Amino acid sequence: NLSYNETTLSSANCSDNFFDIINNRTYLHSSLIRTMASWQNRDVLLLFDVDGTLTPARRTVTPEILELLKIVRKKAVIGFVGGSDLAKQQEQLGPTILEDFDYAFSENGLIAYRSGKPLASQSFIGWLGEEKYKKLVNFILRYIADIDLPIKRGTFVEFRNGMINVSPVGRNCTVEERNNFEEYDKIHKIRPKLVEALKEAFHDYSLTYSIGWDKTYCLQHVQNEGFKVIHFFGDKAYEGGNDWEIYNHESVVGHSVKSPDDTVKQVKELFPDLFS
């Protein structure tokens, strides 16, 4: 698991084409200890992955899923967690997601909202400084320019509030191209080699590098909220998948789903009285 004072490289066998870089000391525990009265006696938390769980990959949520969540929210606190920034999550889940969900975790919890209000954070550039940030990005772009890949598209470095996201093949690639790069990367270790180069070049920057960011980061925001049980639903709950760590976390009851339709099925089985 990731911590605040360690540099961690997670499994390279993740199902995407990028990796993330954050600073180690920006995000502090929210330390929010509240009574469950604030949740109107809802003492169960349901956390959902986005892509492949609430929506088809990179697509928008269906009315059926939204209706399901509205009904379940009568008995449970609900939240989503994903690696994208909030703008991309709004494209998939709708512009009112901060009202539709009790918790919203963008960038896998680096950016967090509770009841529509942001929890404390600090920007990546604000902590690192513009000059160091430019040096880091220039290094990455030069490195990627010198890599011989089967294809390259666009958006190789994407700035987010709490991290920068790096994609050697480019985030503008298609789903098929992304999957092809994943298989190519398993053999040629493009991302792990780049991470090692960054660690060596920027060893004094106190950065954390993650290939397939670990979603357990979001749990710090909910573990002191008094929930009797925390359920997590994700479609990549297998070793090497980006839901694996949170699915297996000791404080979480994990549910592996195959699709948004399977999410609907499993949630209804968890709350049969709401759907009888």
Residue 121 pLDDT more than 90?
no
Q: Which residue has the higher pLDDT, 68 or 31?
A: 68
Which structure tokens are listed for 244? 């694996």
pLDDT at res. 3: 26
**Known binding residues for alpha-D-mannose 1-phosphate:** 58, 160, 171, 178
Residue 276 pLDDT more than 90?
no
- Rounded to two decimals, what is the model's pTM? 0.68
Cite the beta strand spans of 82-189 per DSSP E: 103-106, 111-114, 117-118, 157-159, 164-166
Q: Note the pLDDT tens digit of each residue in 207-264.
A: 878 765 579 989 989 988 999 999 999 999 988 788 999 999 999 999 999 999 999 9
Domains of the chain from N-terminus onward: 19-27+124-160+164-210 (3.30.1240.20), 36-121+215-274 (3.40.50.1000)
Taking the C-alpha atoms of residue 182 and residue 22, their distance in angstroms, rounded to an integer, is: 22
Taking the C-alpha atoms of residue 206 and residue 6, their distance in angstroms, rounded to an integer, is: 8
**Known binding residues:** 49, 51, 58, 160, 171, 178, 235, 247
Residue 161 pLDDT more than 90?
no
Residue 36 pLDDT more than 60?
no
pLDDT at res. 196: 94
- Mean pLDDT (the chain) is 85
Catalytically annotated residues: 49, 51
CA angle, residues 234, 236, 275, in degrees to nearest 5: 25
